[in-house]
Structure 1
Amino acid sequence: MFSKYLPHRLMKIVTSFLQNYGISRIGTFALFFAVGLGLTLVISACSPNNTSNSAATQTATQGVVVRIGYQKAATILNALKNRGSLAQTLTAAGASVTWTEFPAGPPMLEAMNVGSIDFGYTGESPPIFAQVAGTPLLYVAYDPWSPKAEAIIVPKDSPIKSVAELKGKKVAFAKGSNTNYLVVKAIEAAGLNYSDIQPAHLTPADARAAFEGGNVDAWAIWDPYLAAVEHDLDVRILTDATNLAPNRGYYLARQEFVNSHPDLLKTLLDEISKIDKWAADSPEEVAKFLEPELGIKAAALEIAEKRRQYGVLPLTDEVITQQQKIADTFHKIKLVPKQIQVKEIVWNGNKS
Structure 2
Amino acid sequence: MTSSPRNTSRRHFIAGTAATLIALPTLHAQTRPVLKAGDQKGGLRALLEAAGGLEGLSYDIQWSEFPAAAPLAEALNAQAVDSGPIGDAPLIFALAAGTRVKAIGANRADSYGTAVLVRPDSTLKTAADLKGKSIATNRGSIGHYITLKAITSAGLKPEEVNIRFLAPADAKLALTQGSVDAWATWEPYTALAETSQHARVLVSGRGLLPGLSYLAATDAAIASKRPVLQDFLQRVVKAQVWSYRNVDAYSNTLARIIGIPPEAAKLQFERRQQKWIAIDAKVIADQQATADFYEQVGLIKQHLDVRGTFDTGFGTSA
Q: Place the TM-score, normalised by the shorter chain, in its bin.
A: 0.7 to 0.9
Q: Secondary structure at the match of 1:237?
A: strand
- Aligned pairs for 1:199-238 within 5 A: 199-233=163-197, 235-238=199-202
Deviation at 1:267, TM superposition (A): 0.7
Q: Secondary structure at the match of 2:276?
A: coil
- Aligned pairs for 1:269-280 within 5 A: 269-280=233-244
Tell me which of the two structures has the higher relative contact order, counting C-alpha pairs closer than 8 angstroms and 6 or more residues apart.
2
Query: Are 2:32 and 1:66 equivalent residues in the alignment?
Result: no
Conserved in 2, the CA contact under 8 Å of 1:77 and 1:272? no
Aligned equivalent of 1:80, options 29, 32, 48? 48
Separation in structure 1 between the aligned mates of residue 261 and residue 237 of structure 2, nearest angstrom: 26
Aligned to 1:254: 218
Q: Which amino acid in 1 is paired with 2:236?
A: I
Conserved in 1, the CA contact under 8 Å of 2:68 and 2:141? yes
- Aligned pairs for 1:170-185 within 5 A: 170-185=134-149
Aligned to 1:192: 156
**Residue deviations 1:314-350, cap 9 Å, x none?**
2111111111111111112111121211111210112
Separation in structure 1 between the aligned mates of residue 63 and residue 175 of structure 2, nearest angstrom: 30
Aligned to 2:20: none
Deviation at 1:158, TM superposition (A): 1.1
Q: Which amino acid in 1 is paired with 2:47?
A: A
Conserved in 1, the CA contact under 8 Å of 2:50 and 2:250? no
Aligned to 2:13: none
- Aligned pairs for 1:70-109 within 5 A: 70-74=39-43, 76-80=44-48, 85-86=53-54, 88-90=56-58, 95-109=59-73
- Unmatched segments (≥5 aa) in structure 2: 1-27
- Aligned pairs for 1:116-195 within 5 A: 116-195=80-159
Q: Secondary structure at the match of 2:54?
A: helix
Conserved in 2, the CA contact under 8 Å of 1:64 and 1:96? yes
Conserved in 2, the CA contact under 8 Å of 1:140 and 1:314? no
Pair 1:77–1:248, CA change in 2 (3 A):
farther
**Residue deviations 1:297-322, cap 9 Å, x none?**
10121111110122222211111111
**Residue deviations 1:269-320, cap 9 Å, x none?**
1111121112122221122112232221101211111101222222111111
Pair 1:312–1:219, CA change in 2 (3 A):
same
Aligned to 1:32: none
Separation in structure 2 between the aligned mates of residue 293 and residue 115 of structure 1, nearest angstrom: 25
Separation in structure 1 between the aligned mates of residue 274 and residue 126 of structure 2, nearest angstrom: 31
Deviation at 1:87, TM superposition (A): 6.1
Aligned to 1:27: none
Looking at secondary structure, tell me which structure has more helix per residue. 1
TM-score (structure 2 length as normaliser): 0.85
Separation in structure 1 between the aligned mates of residue 246 and residue 169 of structure 2, nearest angstrom: 27
Query: Over aligned residues, Cα RMSD in angstroms?
Result: 2.0
Whose radius of gyration is greater, 1 or 2?
A: 1
Aligned to 1:263: 227
Query: Are 2:260 and 1:296 equivalent residues in the alignment?
Result: yes
Aligned to 1:282: 246
Deviation at 1:78, TM superposition (A): 2.9
Deviation at 1:108, TM superposition (A): 0.7
- Aligned pairs for 1:43-54 within 5 A: none
Query: Are 2:313 and 1:349 equivalent residues in the alignment?
Result: yes
Deviation at 1:144, TM superposition (A): 0.9
Conserved in 2, the CA contact under 8 Å of 1:65 and 1:98? yes
Q: Secondary structure at the match of 2:103?
A: strand
Q: Secondary structure at the match of 2:257?
A: helix
- Unmatched segments (≥5 aa) in structure 1: 1-58
Conserved in 1, the CA contact under 8 Å of 2:106 and 2:278? yes
Conserved in 1, the CA contact under 8 Å of 2:90 and 2:142? yes
Q: Which amino acid in 2 is paired with 1:237?
A: V
Deviation at 1:64, TM superposition (A): 2.0
Identity, in percent, stands at 31
Deviation at 1:63, TM superposition (A): 3.3
Separation in structure 2 between the aligned mates of residue 170 and residue 222 of structure 1, nearest angstrom: 18
Pair 1:305–1:82, CA change in 2 (3 A):
closer
Query: Are 2:278 and 1:309 equivalent residues in the alignment?
Result: no
Conserved in 1, the CA contact under 8 Å of 2:47 and 2:236? no
Conserved in 2, the CA contact under 8 Å of 1:146 and 1:248? no
Deviation at 1:211, TM superposition (A): 1.0
Separation in structure 1 between the aligned mates of residue 111 and residue 53 of structure 2, nearest angstrom: 30
